[in-house]
Structure formats: structure tokens, C-alpha cells
Amino acid sequence: MANQRNSRNGGRGIWIFNHTIRVLASAIAVAVFVFFTHSFLFTSHSHDHHSLGLGSGSYGFGSGRSVLAVKTESPKPKLDLLRKQADDHRSLALAYASYARKLKLENSKLVRVFADLSRNYSDLINKPSYRALYESDSLSIDDEPTLRQFEKEVKERIRVTRQVIAEAKESFDTQLKIQKLKDTIFAVNEQLTKAKKQGAFSSLIAAKSIPKSLHCLAMRLMEERIAHPEKYTDEGKELPPELEDPKLYHYAIFSDNVVAASVVVNSAVKNSKEPWLHVFHVVTDKMNLGAMQVMFKLKDYNGAHIEVKAVEDYNFLNSSYVPVLRQLESANLQRFYFENKLENATKDTTNMKFRNPKYLSILNHLRFYLPEMYPKLHRILFLDDDIVVQRDLTGLWKIDMDGKVNGAVETCFGSFHRYAQYMNFSHPLIKEKFNPKACAWAYGMNFFDLDAWRREKCTEEYHYWQNLNENRTLWKLGTLPPGLITFYSTTKPLDKSWHVLGLGYNPSISMDEIRNAAVVHFNGNMKPWLDIAMNQFRPLWTKYVDYDLEFVQVCNFGL
């Protein structure tokens, strides 16, 4: 402790010393400037009152009259003035030399030049012939040649000193240095802002691109589906009763990523105590339906029940009922997404991600239609396709929801992730209905009480606000803002250990926090199936990839 205290005291002493040096240097600079100005004014006045001929209004000597051109009874005052000028400029040169040393200028030559100039004045003043002049009580006419020579040498040295100071002044001009530094900082900030925008855009492109191995896998699975349709189709078969049994544990997974959806199911099944009591409802688009059907038919899931359907199978999801589908037909919205050039897309890095068409995908908005998709169910757990389940989740079905609709983990801390960050509170409708300081919560693992949902008419509430936001004046695109609105007063906070977020953008999440989590969420751009994923977190996801499947091996997935 003593050593630490001494170290702190020593550090503080060094700081005080450095601060004192800086203050001293600044004081010297100000003093030199005042001294310089005073000397200038003094000399100018001396020209008016004493007619020394040191130039018109400055220290110039081109057209001034000689000291000896003025007849006077005693040349002593003029000698004193000349000596004072020499002494003043010697002090000025010394001050500049001292200031140059304290600032540790790169060009140390200035120090030597000013020091030499100072010595030249000392040598001049101490010459025996000139010393005799100002030690004498009075001067005679015989001393005039010596006085004239002294005047000539003083003026010559003053001229040289002025020239050197003028050339070196920029090095000592603090205001000029500050302005140049400001200009440099501004230019660097401009470059940094531009680089950030370009980097954000490049990151977005990387995040939304489909890796070659993932595309290969989807194509191989589809090829298998076309070659052997009888093995994978459920058409004409009776619907298993488990898919609608409200006594079982039901999950909803909406995805067009074959591997991601399979990892969610694999991780949930492997960490469940009784897999045969779990039912997974996987919904994808028509393009990926065949691949999904093959993927989930290739292996046994320890008795767990898996339903694979296409979003097109739900006939009620049409543009006359779903606001997002109707808005997609709007010419303005199509221009917003599909007619933006690179320079327009990178203007706003904060909202750049919302320009991705995935936010218009109906798969992204299916979460608002769960009661209609599964009319016989009472409760369901919604899972994003970028999550990994690490422990049995049946405890969620034992939570008392207190009449709330949505069970979710809150994400706010301090002033971050409050409603004000997601909605436009300058709009009177938003300002009137919601508290800007209300705590936001996470989508990705949400436990929904479907009976309470139907009672509260949450889907109708979602439609109301989504229609009002057709021109994007209430919030930017995405599903979290309308979710925050729809479940504003009907969300029950869950313990944070149920759902840990940030594995797709935050490298500083502690491994202890991750190990204790029931679900980890790779939200962010660095998805675990991409090359840009964070290496320390990727194994949490890859351990549930079916690398033993032939199709995965053929496509070199993960290699």
C-alpha cells in the first residue's frame, strides 16, 4: 500500500511538474509578446519625441534620419537609448531561446541561433571602445565617430534579430498552432466518418451474404428432395396429434437458413430432459421448404416432434390482412429498398441496417400472428434462428405470467435501450401513449401466453400501429419497435440468465455469464455461420452442427 501511495504521489508530482512547465512556458510566451509590443511602441514614440531616425512607425532603417543629424547639447540620452535597445533585444533573444528549449522544438538550430544573437549583443555592449562611451560622464564631439559606429552595429544586429524572429515566429505562435491542429483534427474526423460509413456498409454486406457452403447445402438438400419426393413429403398423411397438443412444450422457429434452424432444434433437444414432450414448429419460405423437409427427416431427434411448413401454407397471411405485405406493394417503400445507390445507402450508419429487405420479409413478422397460426395452443416459446439452447427450457412453462402476454429479458441499463432509442417521441401519438424511459426487452427468446394474447387483442394492436407507420414516421423498420409498442404494458420481465445477448457483436461478454445462460443469442452482424464470427464464441454454435451428415460434409461446411 505504501508503494502504491508513493507511486500515486510520484505520478501526481510529475503531472504537477509538467503542468507547471507548460504554464511557465505559456507565461513566457505572453510576456515576450507584451515585451515585444512595448519595445515596438517605445521605439515608435522615441522616433516622434527624440528623432532617432529608426524608421517610420517601426524598427526599419531605410529612410530614417541619423541620430547625429539632430543637433543637441549632449549625446548621452541617445547613447542610453541605444544601449537600452541592445539590452532589450538581447533579453528578447534569450526569452525565445528559453522558450524554444522548454518546448523541445524539433529544430534545435533555433536555440543556437537565438543564443548566438544574445551573445553578439553582449559582446557588442562589452567592447572596450563602446564601454568607455557609456562609462563617461559626458561625450565630446571627438566621440561622435565611435557613437556612429556603435549605432551602425546595433542597427545591423537588430535587423538580423528581427529577420530571424520573423522567420521563426510561426514556431512560437500558439494560436496559429492551435488553428492548424484544429484543421488537422477536422480533416481526420472527416476521413474517419467516411471510413466508418464504408466499414459499416461492408460489414452489412458481409453479414447478409450467403456463404458458399450454406448455399451448397441448401441446393444439395433440395436435389435430394426432388430425387426422392416420397421419402420427405407429408402430403396425404394424417397430422400427428402431438402437433396440436396443448399439454406439450411447443416452440416456434421462423427461418430460411437450414443449418441455423437445425442448430436451434439440435441444441434444444440435446439439453432437454424429456425430448419426446417437445414440439418444434419450423416455418420457412417456399424456396427453402424442400431443403428444410429433408434436413429434419435425415435424423432422429430422440422422439421430439418437428413440423416443417411454408409461410405460404397459412392462407390468412395476405396483403389484405397483413399491413407489411400491403406496404411492400407501395412504390415508395420499394424505392427505399431497391433503388438506393451506394452513396445513399451509406449516408446514415445508424439506420443503415434497416434498409435490408429482410425487415420486409413476412418470416420476420410472423411472430405477431402466433395465436392464429396455432389456434389450439395456450402457450408457445418463440426462438430466433441465431440462438443456441444450453439447458432444459421447460421451467419457462412453470412461470406465473401474472396475466401478461410476453415473457422476455429486459435489455435496459442506465439510459440505454429505453423506448426513446427505438421510437420517434417527437411524434404526438408516440409521445402521448408511451414513456420514453420505459425499459426495452429482447426479441429472440420470448415466452408467449396465447390465451392472454387473444384476450388483449395484441395482433389488432400491432395492425393499428403498423398501418400508422406506413411512411416510417413513428419508428424505423424492424420488428422490435412494433413489438415494444404491441406488448407495452403486457410484458413480464424474465431473469436475465434465461437469455444472454450480444454474441454477434460484443466480444467482452464473460464466459461465466455465457455458461450460466439457458439461451445464448448471436444477435448482431457476426453470425456464427459466417467467416466474420468471433472465434471465442463460435464453438458454442458449431458443437450442434450435424457434421456427420453426408450433405454437410460434401459442402465443406465450417471448413
DSSP percent split of the chain into helix, strand, coil, nearest 5: 55, 10, 35
Q: Please say whether the beta carbons of 111 and 105 come within 8 A.
A: yes
**Cβ atoms within 10 Å of 400's Cβ, excluding its own:** 7
φ and ψ of 520, to 5 deg: -110, 140
Round to whole Å and give the CA distance between 378 and 452: 9
Q: Which of 365, 399, 366, 415 is nearest to 498 (CA)?
A: 399
* DSSP H or E run through 519: strand 519-521
Q: Please say whether the beta carbons of 482 and 475 come within 8 A.
A: yes
Domains of the chain: 99-136+143-206 (no CATH), 211-555 (3.90.550.10)
DSSP 235-277: TTSPPPGGGG-TTSEEEEEE-S-HHHHHHHHHHHHHT-S-GGG
Q: What is the pLDDT of residue 511?
A: 94
Max Cα–Cα distance, the chain, nearest Å = 135
Q: What is the pLDDT of residue 556?
A: 83
Round to whole Å and give the CA distance between 501 and 411: 9
Q: Which of 415, 390, 355, 413 is nearest to 521 (CA)?
A: 390
Q: What is the DSSP letter of 440?
A: P
pLDDT in tens, the chain (559 residues): 444 444 444 444 444 334 444 544 554 554 444 444 444 444 444 444 443 333 333 333 333 444 444 444 567 778 888 888 888 888 888 887 777 766 665 566 777 788 888 888 888 888 888 777 777 777 777 778 888 888 888 888 888 888 887 777 766 677 777 888 888 898 899 888 888 877 776 776 766 677 888 889 999 999 999 999 888 877 777 889 999 999 999 999 999 999 999 999 999 999 999 999 999 999 999 999 999 999 999 998 999 999 999 999 999 999 899 998 888 777 666 666 655 554 444 455 445 554 555 566 789 899 999 999 999 999 999 999 999 999 999 999 999 999 999 999 999 987 789 999 999 999 999 999 999 999 999 999 999 999 999 999 999 999 999 999 988 899 877 899 999 999 999 999 999 999 999 999 999 999 999 999 999 999 988 999 998 899 999 999 999 999 999 999 999 876 5
